[in-house]
Amino acid sequence: MANSDSWQEYRRRRNLSLFALVGYVPFVGVVAIISLWLIGTAIPAFIAAIAWMVFALVAGNWFIRFRCPRCGEPFFADSKWWGYNTFARRCLHCKLPINAPTAGSDSTTVPANNV
Ligand SMILES: [Zn+2]
């Protein structure tokens, strides 16, 4: 996997999990307002809330399972049995900083295969 793709994948996962976190209240609120206005009950809002919680759970898990592009270990987990540190700015295994080029896949250098 190319280096830029790895960090692009990291950003995709991070952004989706942030969207799942921040978007919960506005989404459920809008569904509640619309369903109260149209059919006079908030039951669709409860269904939407549960569905969004499942979405947030899946998105969050997808994010914390991001693997380090250099060592291949879970970037935010230092143990299978202990918690995750999603605020880590470096891989908890090989200390690779976020957005750092990895060996052999540096996208800033020109490939030397045309010699
Ligand atoms: Zn690593």
Q: What pLDDT digit, counting tens, does each position of 26-45 carry?
A: 999 999 999 999 999 999 99
pLDDT of res. 78:
84
3-state helix, strand, coil in the chain (%, to 5): 50, 5, 45
- Asked whether the predicted pLDDT for residue 52 surpasses 50, the reply is yes
Tell me how far the alpha carbon of residue 20 lies from the centroid of ligand 1, in angstroms: 26
- Who wins on pLDDT, 83 or 55? 55
According to DSSP, residue 78 is labeled: S
| Cβ within 8 Å of residue 51, ≥6 positions away | none
For residue 63, how far is the Cα from the chain centroid? 3
Tell me how far the alpha carbon of residue 38 lies from the centroid of ligand 1, in angstroms: 52
pLDDT class of 113 with cuts at 50, 70, 90: very low
pLDDT of res. 2:
56
